[in-house]
Chains A and B, each alone.
Chain A
Amino acid sequence: MSAESSPKIVIVDESPIRAAILEEGLREAGFTEVVHISEMQSLLSRIYAVDPDIIVIDLENPSRDVLEQMFQVSRAVRRPIAMFVDQSDAASIQASVDAGVSAYIVDGLKKERIKPILDLCVSRFNAFSKLQDELDRTKHALEERKVIDRAKGILMKLKGLTEEEAYVLMRSTAMREKKKIGEIAQSILTASELLK
């Protein structure tokens, strides 16, 4: 690899969305040679076929252990690879473990060339987790909404209440029992199932 050219980066990730987020970030930062591997079968030969300078893998991936084989002296390995650990920089190791990402590099690649790539991976991984959390929260809220609507319907039918009154009844019960309105709604659904 010449000093000017963009290092070749392989992203090993079974999550296509996270890989896309990372790939986009890398390209925006000017790293144009990015290959995403999502298939873990025969992972090493896939990686050797690309012959990357840097490999990025998420910590939830059991195949991290497969990558350890690349450090072994073997005829299969064309270039020695090491995990990127800068022992002088505990904060950056901590940040990458917290974000859930690790990087492996070809020996000899300069530290100042790797640091911005790793930093970018960390921030993109964190961005992805945030997205994932928001998505989970939205999903949960939507489901709760549905449960509340169904419980409202049951109350309206059984007690002859208006929609507004049914909602007020659930909310005041929730406050009195120090529970969430979603939990009260769920109890109504469960009870009505049982009494059917």
Chain B
Amino acid sequence: MTTPLRIGFIPLVDAAALIVAADKGFAAAEGLDVTLVREVSWSNVRDKLNIGLFDAAHLLAPVAIASSLGLGHVKVPIAAPFNLGLNGNAITVSPALYAALIEAIDGDRFDPMATSRALARVVAKRKKSGAEPLTFGMTFPFSTHNYQLRFWMAAGGVDPDEDVQLVVLPPPYMVDSLASGHVDGFCVGAPWNSIAVDIGVGHILHFVADILPTAVEKVLAVRQNWSERRPDVVVSLVRAHLRAAEFIEQPENRSEVAQLLAQPERIGVDAEVIQRTLDGRLKISPDGTLRESSRYLLVGREAAARPDPAQAAWLYAQMVRWGQTPFRPDALKTAMAVFRPDLYDAATGTGRAADTVTAVSAFAGPPFDPNDVAGHLAAFKIGRWKP
């Protein structure tokens, strides 16, 4: 007997495990008859998951947490038994801002502290000359992109709320907005950074792995009460997606995966652009400069798919730091409980052996300790949260 499931997704490369599980037969092998529904906004994905139109969804990890806490929207507890991707985002800036940063930089162009300090100099210079503040695009208020951009610029002394403007832009509008000068830079997932570089309107300044070597990005989200009602289906879902994630990570499968993702009803962009992301080999400048990183996007390697509650705690800490919610120990606990390594382990049989609770360590600030979020945040000068 097969179980019909409707799963919502946004056309981004980190939906790879969902697309491969559905289109390559891994879901069917687990008895799941998956219908993938392509959506145009995270709000739609969240709302349709919340009201039960979707059984599961490709969701921004912070949205899963915000939904469980009732931040910015209705409170619907979410369970995330599987990470669909780690990292995968990049910060891209316009050629003009890139030139200004390189002119102002003191140090290595790939060192996020050096670029952040350069940004602070550019911002100060603009302020002095009376120029408009720089504007940066990100995908959602509760998004990794928002927090990664903020973390990066604040490290060098730029206050993301006071010194620049941060605006939400749907990913498909990012490149146009950069080209038309409505934004000076953005943080977004693949393939949009590469597309900006290809048409000559952007330079990829940082891979997110420069800022956080391991950053949870999208999760496979289900409603918590649904996960309790249908534990067998959760097991099948996790297994199917783990198989898909492992398939994606085999270098010999990459071009087939890129073809699957490139289909018009899936991501609908050129397979070659998608493969750059999967290979972690990206063109970062319109002049063709390449940059490689094995950590660009992790789908099935290094136990990437196993949810790590410390990552959820880090994301919650960012919500607190930027004033989206006051700090509450019980809310921190709720946030961490959204990530479900127990469900992952039960499905995959990996157990404690795969217990790779990674330290969340960013390029700036003290190491992150989920047991002392307040202490951690107190170490940062810029932020909306005051102890």
Contact = CB atoms under 8 A, between A and B. Distances in A.
B72 A42 contact: no
A44 B167 contact: yes
Contacts of B41: 59, 61-65
Contacts of A61: 40-41
A63 B323 CA distance: 23
A83 interface: yes
Interface stretch (B42-50, B104-112, B374-382): B42-50
B141 interface: yes
B150 to A, nearest CB: 12
A97 B48 contact: yes
B179 to A, nearest CB: 12
Interface residues of A, number: 28
A97 B72 contact: no
A165 to B, nearest CB: 43
Nearest to A72: B141
A15 interface: no
Contacts of B40: 59-62, 64
B74 A42 contact: no
Nearest to B47: A97
Interface stretch (A3-11, A86-94, A173-181): A86-94
A65 B139 contact: yes
Given A68-B43, A69-B168, A72-B324, A41 B139 contact: no
Interface string B158-190: 000100000111101100010010100000000
Interface in A82-124: 83, 85, 87, 90, 93-94, 97, 102
A41 B168 contact: no
Contact of B72 (A60, A72, A75, A93): A72
Contacts of A44: 167
A21 interface: no
Contact of A68 (B140, B161, B182): B140
B53 A97 contact: yes
A158 interface: no
Interface string A32-71: 0000000011101000000000000001111111111101
A65 B53 contact: no
Sorted nearest first, the 4 A-B pairs with minimum C-beta distance are A62-B170, A64-B43, A64-B41, A69-B168
15 contacts: A41-B180, A41-B182, A44-B167, A59-B41, A61-B40, A61-B41, A64-B41, A66-B170, A68-B72, A68-B140, A68-B168, A69-B168, A73-B384, A83-B74, A97-B47
Interface of A: 40-42, 44, 59-69, 71-75, 83, 85, 87, 90, 93-94, 97, 102
